[in-house]
Amino acid sequence: MRAFILLKPEVVQRNLIGKIICFIEDKGLKIVGLKMITATREQIEELYEGHKASAHYGVLINCCLDGPVVAITVESPLGIDSAELLKDLQGKHDIAGTVRFYFSSHPSRGVLHCSSPGDGHRESSIFFSLAEINNYTKVLDQWIIANQHDVITTL
């Protein structure tokens, strides 16, 4: 299943794009869409439509409009919702091994947005057309799927 990640302007300014992409790939996620853009207010408001009631909504929107962002669409080769894997990737500022632990400049500032389970297709479509999503097979994906099946059948 598809999930969406937005690397915020702070990531671009601090030269962290490549480091965070390494975290994404190390989780076994397949990047099927990747681009740097200057997001519009409408795109960011649509992305965070579920947060309108939050006291920090305005700050959140403005933070994402401070400069270019990197939009990323990912898929999991195992057919599970990639957003579940993203929760561990994003994490909290006090959990070692997460993006927030290593890269957030303050506990209240997230450097990336990760879609919640079930929201990946909707959020991805805000930033990517269907023609911009690359459908391809990786040999490694087939190996992971085959080995996952072997492990399950031998337990």
The catalytic site residues sit at 113
Answer for the pair 40, 46: CB distance below 8 angstroms, yes or no: no
